[in-house]
Amino acid sequence: MPRVALVTGSSRGLGAGIARRLAADGLAVAVNSRSGRGDDVAAAIEQAGGTAASFPADVTERESVDRLVAAVADALGPIDVLVLNATGPQPPVLIEEAGWDRHLEMLAFFLRSPVLLGQAVLPGMRKRGGGRIVHLDSEVVDKPPPGMTAYVAAKSAQLGLMRSWARELAPDAITVNTVAPGFIPVERHDDVSDADRAQYVATVPAGRFGTPDDIATAVSFFASEAAGFITGQRLVVDGGRGLT
């Protein structure tokens, strides 16, 4: 039977690209979204010869997470690869306006959701002798833009969580790594002006935007059997922008 991957927040954008790539790698993919709009991604994977199913669930709530993990196991098999991609809206909010509630909203996606999902899948991974957990963080941890304090703080906390998990779970042959994308123009960034896009590209030595496929390739490696001796690592996929 193929290994099974759960990709949270995979009905569109980066998550959809990751789901398609893991399916192409031969994994059975659980496509997840809170809205339940993952059917199209799962259908496209099936049409291309892969194995996938759609599982609507709010991954920031414990009961929903427990039902999700059980449903994936029933339909596809126990989860071998967990990709933590789900995110919410990230409108810029100045420090004076970013109340504690705003910080909690970000922490729910980038700390509470990984904790709930990790706790739900770890018993099965341990029983089967290993597994892969891949976080998605962001270049903002290194290059924080104005108006994004809650988002940056939550992503920074996620990075610490990843490293702590990697240390604790290494004896169980469960690797934990993270991929940090640079700016990837997908549908949620449609409100970015052409001038801002041009200014961003000017800061990237590679001279182009990243694509969902660039991120999916990095996730694919961390999820692979070949990455079994790599854990606690952060791979920044930004075309060299971090060097400028």
Task: Report pLDDT digits (tens) over 134-181.
Answer: 999 999 999 998 999 999 999 999 999 999 999 999 999 999 999 999
CA torsion through residues 227, 14, 59, 113, sign: positive
Query: Average pLDDT over the chain, rounded to whole?
Result: 94
CATH superfamily of the domain spanning 4-243: NAD(P)-binding Rossmann-like Domain (3.40.50.720)
CB atoms within 10 A of CB 234: 15
Split at pLDDT 50, 70, 90, the class of 195 is: confident
The H-or-E segment that residue 178 falls in is: strand 174-181
What mean pLDDT comes out for the span 19-44? Answer: 95
For the chain, what are the domain ranges?
A: 4-243
| CA distance to 165, 202, 209, 218, per residue, from 205 (Å) | 33, 8, 10, 19
Comparing CA positions, the residue from 80, 81, 54 lying closest to residue 68 is 54
Residue 135 sits at φ, ψ, to 5 deg, of -90, 155
| Buried b or exposed e, range 163-192, using 16+ CB within 10 angstroms | bebbeebeeebbbbbbbbbbbbebeeeeee
Task: Report pLDDT digits (tens) over 33-54.
Answer: 998 789 999 999 999 999 999 9
Please report where in the chains the tokens 């596809």 appear, as a residue.
76
| Backbone region of residue 111 per phi and psi (left: phi > 0; alpha: psi in -120 to 50; beta: other values) | alpha
In this prediction, residue 207 carries a pLDDT of: 87
For residue 189, give the 3-state DSSP assignment: helix
In this prediction, residue 187 carries a pLDDT of: 54
Separation between Cα atoms, residue 155 and residue 141, nearest integer Å: 7
The more confidently predicted of residues 207 and 54 is: 54
Task: Report pLDDT digits (tens) over 57-85.
Answer: 999 999 999 999 999 999 999 999 999 99
Tokens read off for 58:
């709010």
In this prediction, residue 191 carries a pLDDT of: 60
In this prediction, residue 89 carries a pLDDT of: 85
What mean pLDDT comes out for the span 224-238? Answer: 97
**Could you list the active site residues?**
151
Percent of the chain residues past pLDDT 70, beyond the cut: 98
Q: Assess whether pLDDT exceeds 90 at residue 223.
A: yes
Task: Report pLDDT digits (tens) over 119-129.
Answer: 999 999 999 99
What mean pLDDT comes out for the span 5-11? Answer: 97
Q: Assess whether pLDDT exceeds 90 at residue 196.
A: no
Separation between Cα atoms, residue 228 and residue 217, nearest integer Å: 16
